[in-house]
Amino acid sequence: MTQHARVYTEMVTTGALIHGDSDRHLKFNEEEHPVALQLGGSTPADLAVAAKMGASYGYDEINLNCGCPSDRVQNGAFGACLMREPELVRDCVAAMNEAVELPVTVKHRLGIDDDNSYDIVRDFVGTVAEGGSDVFIAHARNAWLQGLSPKENREVPPLRYEWVYQLKRDFPDLTIVLNGGITSLDDCQAHLNHVDGVMLGREPYQNPWLLSQVDAQLFGDTERDLSRYDVAMALMPYLETTLAEGGRVNHVLRHVLGLYQRQPGGKLFRRLLSEGMHKTGADAALFKEAVDATEALIARRSA
């Protein structure tokens, strides 16, 4: 659906890479380029090793997560906790930059809990930039480490877009990317009047078709004549390969439940996949049947 948008992995901890099944965490498909590896950790030496591992797998960027508020990262003293330790983050970034030639970037929040001063995020970015990174992806909310779940942390703390705009004014030589609460490409274009980039999180996961217009609207590329059916059929070889390698059908299909979101057959598509993909023996035929039934319903309703 998009050839230009950069894809970020889920956060992978340094421990999982160094001591676990690194291939499971790092393997990706060539079609995913450009793709960034997002790391979780707070030890410069370990992050340097993990960054080298990412570079060896062919990633285009290494990203350090300083924004995740989950209990797991709090116990490990990384993620959003690092907002309180800009000097340590600077050293982590410097170690990764020393280890790899790829861009090393940072994803962060505006502050933690009841931090209500812009100066906190301004000083964080200024200090961390001394480590050699010039791309900062700002989720325009605070992270609440107590009292809110990770899901609530993406929705409850108020958005402060103006603070991210101010970061760009204060650091004109840095690349400032805005994340948080963006639900349309019109929103993206409005934000791009103030910052260098935008990151979309939950919206394209729930409504993947949004990505089909990204290249034309945001990158100035020629609009492609692409349908949801085309996208589904292009996914079939990947689904079949996953199954052949021992994966299960739900490993793929749970991520495409929203392909027909906001279409007349959207609920039918979601129901057919949700009910079928956990059954014993479910295979790629389930996906093809769901697509065909959905397309038939759309055709009947538009007739």
- Give the contacts of 193 (CB within 8 A, at least 6 positions apart): none
Look at residue 8 and tell me whether its pLDDT is greater than 90: yes
Look up residue 4 and give its two tokens: 């230009």
Q: What is the pLDDT of residues 176-223, one digit of tens each?
A: 999 999 999 999 999 999 999 999 999 999 999 999 999 999 999 998
Q: How far apart are CA 220 and CA 216, in angstroms?
A: 5
Q: How far apart are CA 300 and CA 234, in angstroms?
A: 24
* Nearest of 124, 122, 44, 113 to residue 82 by alpha carbon: 124
Element (H, E) at 36: strand 35-40
Considering the domain 7-205 in this protein, what is its CATH number?
A: 3.20.20.70
- Compute the Cα dihedral for 153, 159, 163, 169 and give only its sign: positive
**Could you give the angle at the alpha carbon of 218 between the alpha carbons of 213 and 219, nearest 5°?**
100
What are residue 178's phi and psi, to 5 degrees? Answer: -105, 135
- 144-to-79, 134, 266, 280, 303 alpha-carbon distances in Å: 12, 26, 35, 41, 50
CB 133 within 8 A of CB 104: yes
Residue 271's pLDDT is what? Answer: 97
User: Taking the domains of the chain in order of start, what are their residue ranges?
Assistant: 7-205, 228-302
Strand locations in the chain, DSSP E? 7-8, 12-13, 35-40, 61-66, 104-108, 111-112, 135-139, 142-143, 175-179, 197-199
Residue 74's pLDDT is what? Answer: 66
Using DSSP, state whether 285 is helix, strand or coil.
helix
Look up residue 252 and give its two tokens: 């793929």
Q: Do domains 7-205 and 228-302 have the same CATH topology?
A: no
Number of residues assigned to the chain: 303
Q: What is the pLDDT of residues 74-92, one digit of tens each?
A: 666 788 899 999 999 999 9
Residue 170: CA count within 13 A, CB half-sphere: 16
DSSP assignment, residue 213? Answer: G
Q: How far apart are CA 220 and CA 24, in angstroms?
A: 35
Q: What is the pLDDT of residues 226-266, one digit of tens each?
A: 999 999 999 999 999 999 999 999 999 999 999 999 999 99
**The listed CATH number (3.20.20.80, 1.10.730.10, 3.40.50.300, 1.20.120.1460) that belongs to domain 228-302:** 1.20.120.1460
Strands 135-139 and 175-179: parallel
Q: How far apart are CA 289 and CA 285, in angstroms?
A: 6
Residue 149's pLDDT is what? Answer: 81
Q: How far apart are CA 208 and CA 262, in angstroms?
A: 11
Using DSSP, state whether 168 is helix, strand or coil.
helix
| Position 94, amino acid | A
| Catalytic site positions | 68
- Give the contacts of 207 (CB within 8 A, at least 6 positions apart): 258, 261, 262
Look up residue 114 and give its two tokens: 């009841």
Look at residue 267 and tell me whether its pLDDT is greater than 90: yes
Look up residue 156 and give its two tokens: 């409850």
Residue 76's pLDDT is what? Answer: 66
Q: What is the pLDDT of residues 124-179, one digit of tens each?
A: 999 999 999 999 999 999 998 877 787 887 888 899 999 999 999 999 999 999 99
Q: What is the pLDDT of residues 20-77, one digit of tens each?
A: 999 999 999 998 999 999 999 999 999 999 999 999 999 999 999 999 887 766 666 7
* Nearest of 187, 199, 203, 191 to residue 262 by alpha carbon: 203
Look up residue 234 and give its two tokens: 């292009």
CB 157 within 8 A of CB 142: yes
Q: What is the pLDDT of residues 102-126, one digit of tens each?
A: 999 999 999 999 889 999 999 999 9
